[in-house]
Structure 1
Amino acid sequence: MSKREDYEARVEAFLLPVMEENHFELVDVEYVKEAGTWYLRAYIDKEGGFTVDDCEMVSRRLGDWLDKEDFIDESYILEVSSPGLGRPLKKEKDFKRSMGEQVEIKLYRAVDRQKDFTGVLAAYDENTVTIRYEDGSESTFDRKDIALIRLAFDF
């Protein structure tokens, strides 16, 4: 397990009981480096919507625990937020909840000179994702080739 994966797993293990206690959902935890700065992000949600007070409470509890445990070597910025409308599908529960919904898929490399695809999530397993287009045809993508998959929104 990489250092990044270890950090994410430890934070997730701490947050899961906090989520359960408050009837929240832990959507994701990520430890990433962007523009030379490390970020530890916890994405949380709840039915009916997430408030600033919810965010502050989780941020304080997580921050206090991280200060006490002090297991992250690098300096980092802690962020606790809602995943927003453009929430990526990452975990089994995300895919299950999104079956039959319109999704956007962005690939790392083009397929037939195209990297972006939109269709209804028709099937998935641990290795592939299948979408159905309006004309009834389908495309199946290897998960390792998918840079991002999220719910699609018409504005």
Structure 2
Amino acid sequence: MRTRNRQDEMVAALADPVADALGFEIVRIRVLSGKRQTVQIMAEKADGTMDVEDCARLSRALSDVFETQDPISGEYVLEVSSPGIDRPLTALAHFARWEGFEAKIELDRLVENRKRFRGILAGVEEGNVLIDLEGEEETALLPFEWIAEARLVLTDALIAESLKGRGGEAPVWTEGADSVADDSQADTPTKTNR
């Protein structure tokens, strides 16, 4: 969930120690292909915040390491951002932290003839995610290791909770930019690395 493939894992092996040293947790890493590759890294501090200055600081530190170690062949854009309000849930602790909020979960296998579940997170128990599914009386128990993708659902309650103390929307820092990039700018490369 945090990574999808070997290339993501190679980037994570280099990025995790850098992020840890700066006090950040890497939530998700994706190396996206296209006209120009993008290395997308979502991170946050222990308190769940990540402002523009944090994104820029982590981006600069990662750029230094990636320039030396060269984990991606060819040109690419490094994009460091917060997980956002409707964030991905990639660690068991994320499910516990967001208990009481609505989430969508997709499994890597069929359970009772379905892979996708949507409901209110009800905590964690012995390596399992608990979720109250709409229209069902019992709480579903989903093994964490079976989860392929999970994400919070954007609701008014989630927006209100997420913005407490955060001062606004989730920032995105694209290496080399002078300010936060909004969604329309996210695909516009501002710096290429080897």
Same fold (TM over 0.5): yes
Alignment of 1:1-155 (within 5 A): 2-18=6-22, 20=23, 25-35=24-34, 37-46=36-45, 47=47, 49-107=49-107, 111-112=112-113, 115-126=116-127, 128-133=128-133, 136-143=137-144, 145-155=146-156
> Which whole-Å CA distance do the structure 1 matches of 2:86 and 2:143 have between them?
21
Q: Is the 8 A contact 2:96 2:124 kept in 1?
A: no
> How big is the shift at 1:81?
0.5
Q: Is the 8 A contact 1:40 1:78 kept in 2?
A: yes
Stretch deviating more after TM superposition (86-95 or 143-152): 143-152
Structure 1 unaligned residues grouped into runs of 5+: none
Structure 2 unaligned residues grouped into runs of 5+: 157-194
Q: Is the 8 A contact 1:108 1:115 kept in 2?
A: no
Q: Is the 8 A contact 1:89 1:150 kept in 2?
A: yes
Instruction: State the secondary structure of the residue aligned to 1:84.
Output: coil
Q: What code does the residue aligned with 1:120 have? A: L
Instruction: Rate the CA distance shift 1:79–1:123 in 2: closer, same or farther, 3 A.
Output: same
> How big is the shift at 1:11?
1.3
Q: Is the 8 A contact 1:8 1:31 kept in 2?
A: no
Q: Is the 8 A contact 2:42 2:81 kept in 1?
A: yes
Q: What are the Cα deviations for residues 42-88 of structure 1, in whole angstroms up to 9, with x where unaligned?
A: 22224484332322222122212321333433432211101001111
Instruction: Rate the CA distance shift 1:28–1:118 in 2: closer, same or farther, 3 A.
Output: same
Q: What are the Cα deviations for residues 89-144 of structure 1, in whole angstroms up to 9, with x where unaligned?
A: 11133133223443222346675567342123243444x42212466422223445
Q: TM-score, normalised by structure 2?
A: 0.60
> Which whole-Å CA distance do the structure 2 matches of 1:90 and 1:113 have between them?
20
Instruction: Rate the CA distance shift 1:39–1:64 in 2: closer, same or farther, 3 A.
Output: same
Total equivalences in the alignment: 149
Higher helix share: 1
> Percent identity of the aligned residues?
26
> Which whole-Å CA distance do the structure 2 matches of 1:83 and 1:2 have between them?
22
Stretch deviating more after TM superposition (85-94 or 35-44): 35-44
Q: What code does the residue aligned with 1:105 have? A: I
Q: Is the 8 A contact 1:12 1:29 kept in 2?
A: no
Higher strand share: 1
